[in-house]
Amino acid sequence: MMLLAAPLALAACDSAQETETMEDMPMDGMAMEGHDMSAMDAVDGAKTASAVGTVTAIDAETGTITVDHEPVAELGWPQMVMAFDASEEVRGDISVGDAIKFTVEATDEGNTITAITKQ
């Protein structure tokens, strides 16, 4: 019985560990169908960050590029797949499957890629 006391006590202490939140993470453009995101806070002003990822879709009609991107520390984003607004000029000759480095501007209105380079 005494052998179980220490592991159980340690396990009880571990359950109160801090969890990471995404309070400052803009959710526009993320594939969140079926999830109620109305309680999420908006971004305070514009934030700009660099990121890398792979293009998974391009929609010229809506002016978006979907990217499977690595974590973006400056914005507190984990790795995920999300759609970004991008002008035709910025989209340039980018194709689905391209590995890219990009600059994103995250605002209350959404997330826009402002520059892209192929890797």
Q: What is the DSSP letter of 43?
A: P
Question: What pairs with residue 33 in β-bridges?
Answer: none
Cβ count within 10 A of residue 21: 8
Question: Residue 103 burial (CB < 10 Å; 0-12/13-18/19+)?
Answer: middle
pLDDT at 68: 98
pLDDT tens per residue across span 6-40: 555 555 555 455 545 555 555 555 555 544 444 44
CATH code of 25-31+42-118, in short, is 2.40.50.320
pLDDT tens per residue across span 82-98: 999 999 999 999 999 99
Amino acid identity, position 83: A
pLDDT at 78: 96
Residue 113's nearest CA partner among 40, 30, 51 is 51
> For the chain, which residues make up each domain, given as ranges?
25-31+42-118
Tell me how far apart the alpha carbons of residues 102 and 114 are, in angstroms, rounded to a whole number.
7
pLDDT tens per residue across span 91-117: 999 999 999 999 999 998 999 999 999
pLDDT tens per residue across span 41-98: 445 678 999 999 999 999 999 999 999 999 999 999 999 999 999 999 999 999 999 9
